[in-house]
Amino acid sequence: MLKILIADKLHPAFKERAESLGYSVDNRPDITREETLDIIENYHGLAIRTKFRIDTEIIDRAKLLTFIARAGAGMDNIDESAARQRNIHCINAPEGNRDAVGEHAVGMLLTLMNNLKKADLEVRRQIWDREGNRGTELKGKTVAIIGYGFMGSSFAEKLQGFGVNVIAYDKYKTGFSNALVKEVSMEEVVKQADILSLHTPLTRETRGMVNEEYLFHFRKPIILLNTSRGEVLDTAALLQAVRSGRVTSAGLDVLETEKFPMLSSQTWYKELRREERILLSPHVAGWTFESYQKISEVLGDKLADLTETIKTTVPR
């Protein structure tokens, strides 16, 4: 019987589906990296979220491994190149949390444009400042999406009804213009954008992509949203752009460095913490009660599609 190790906290839907397909599943959400290294040689499949990186050390130990299932969208914590060299299939589930990310991005945008965080804090402090909290309407603005995959297209869908002009640039995709979005060049993005929303995966090309030079080229002051990966955006460059007025406000669900205490030790963290024009959340855009289940269901469906191939490649 083919064996799967679940080495992270996944919704039971994945285990149930895998067992219905004939797999033996060990659900060990609290297992450590070191413990995984000790036993991974016994498994044909590995399911993970974000607990630790699946690198060459783990892949080299996993002599029987035929697939890695990432319960989420991004694959940056898996060495896909090393996996390909071993003919290990890698599957993920961006379909499972696309709605969550799209809704979170809209929520951040409306919060920023209507000063909701600032207004709430002031009223609690007995400050009644209507003029200082006057909002800006989204209608008529141009929203530019960078990266038009599952997350970018979900954001475009969620913007329906707001009366905005949605444009998008994707280096690796063309021909996606439709009723929701107009495909444009990066030159058109920097000319037209009032709002810039990042939805790119983390790759060698996108790491540090949004830096001081990148932000310099925008013709108008922009609102910036990042619900993709923190390393795509140079935080120090963003803070400088906020100080100069090139970026009027920003919503960041992800940061270059995440979790404490490492985050608090970053040179830019103190300024980021003080900056009221930047809205922060702890990498939860794609993490809703609904997406937790949908991600596992999508992974189960993809495992079902892959199972016949896996069975033909495993020695009897």
CB 98 within 8 A of CB 150: yes
CB 220 within 8 A of CB 141: no
CA-CA distance, 89 to 67, in Å (whole number)? 4
Q: Which residues of 77-101 are buried (b: 16+ CB within 10 A; e: fewer)?
A: bbbeebbeeeebbebbbbbbbbbbb
CA-CA distance, 306 to 309, in Å (whole number)? 6
Which residue in the list 80, 103, 258, 271 is annotated as catalytic?
Answer: 258
Which residue in the list 17, 44, 49, 229 is annotated as catalytic?
Answer: 229
| Catalytic annotation present for 137 | no
- Could you tell me if residue 195 is left (phi over 0), alpha (psi between -120 and 50 degrees) or otherwise beta? beta
β-pair partners for 281: none
CB 88 within 8 A of CB 67: yes
Task: Strand 24-27: give its sheet, edge to edge.
Answer: 24-27, 3-6, 45-48, 67-70, 89-91
| Catalytic annotation present for 35 | no
DSSP class of residue 301 equals: H
Which residue in the list 53, 207, 277, 283 is annotated as catalytic?
Answer: 283
| Catalytic annotation present for 258 | yes
**Catalytic sites, residue numbers:** 229, 258, 283
